[in-house]
Amino acid sequence: MAEPLTAEQIESALNDLPGWSYADDKLQKRFEFGSFKEAMSFLVRVGFEAEAMGHHPELFNVYSKVDIALNTHDAGGKVTELDVRLAKAIESFAWRD
Amino acid sequence: MAEPLTAEQIESALNDLPGWSYADDKLQKRFEFGSFKEAMSFLVRVGFEAEAMGHHPELFNVYSKVDIALNTHDAGGKVTELDVRLAKAIESFAWRD
């Protein structure tokens, strides 16, 4: 059972996650790409990572934009270490400027 | 420039689109799959179709659910024939019961 992070822990995690914010009990970020194809490629890459971790994000795409929101179902929809880990993994391969 | 469909035309199109509804100026449907992998596969399949048509939906995914919303940016965000065409294409390959 995943433990919800405290406000301080979330604040601290966000220091290492440029562009991410905490809202509605979720870690969130909008990614903008140069095309729909790039956005879809990114979605698929996120999907593989999520499946490997057994932890799945909310993904919203319209054209070249992808919005990601992370929380943990097993922790009552709160942010846990698992969300921070997935956000960091996403950052590691988010190919854009 | 795509022409917005009339209420009657949308009503008529929905007769051939089981499970689709018209709300917030968009054609909408929720698809539920057996797993995240199936949902992602469907997303990618929709993506290829959208790119081929040069017409892109709003896609929302969380775990095994995919919400699709269709409208036409070039028609002031209204529903056009293009949306009906993409919805029908999606129906043709939406593999589920």
Q: Is A63 on the interface with B (CB under 8 A)?
A: yes
Contact A51 B36 (CB under 8 A): yes
Token reading at B37: 């992998």
Q: What are phi and psi of A63, to 5 degrees?
A: 50, -115
Q: How confident is the model at residue A94 (pLDDT cuts 50, 70, 90)?
A: confident
Q: In what order do the strands lie in the sheet with B21-23?
A: A21-23, A26-32, A65-70, A58-62, B58-62, B65-70, B26-32, B21-23
Question: Cβ contacts (< 8 Å) between B63 and chain A: which residues?
Answer: 56
* Nearest-angstrom CA–CA distance, B34 and B80: 31
pLDDT tops 50 at residue A97: no
Contact B60 A58 (CB under 8 A): yes
Q: Is B45 on the interface with A (CB under 8 A)?
A: no
* pLDDT score at A95: 66
Q: How confident is the model at residue B7 (pLDDT cuts 50, 70, 90)?
A: very high
pTM score? 0.94
Average pLDDT, chain B: 95
Contact A60 B59 (CB under 8 A): yes
Q: How confident is the model at residue B97 (pLDDT cuts 50, 70, 90)?
A: very low
Give which of A53, A59, A74 to mutate to test B binding, by max B Cβ within 10 Å: A59
Burial of A52 by CB count in 10 Å (0-12 exposed, 13-18 middle, 19+ buried)? exposed
Instruction: State which residue of chain A sits closest to B41, comparing Cα positions.
Output: A44
Q: Kindly report, residue by residue over B68-92, the tens digit of the pLDDT.
A: 999 999 999 999 999 999 999 999 9
- The per-residue DSSP string of B26-53 comes to EEEEEEE-SSHHHHHHHHHHHHHHHHHH
Token reading at A51: 């499946």
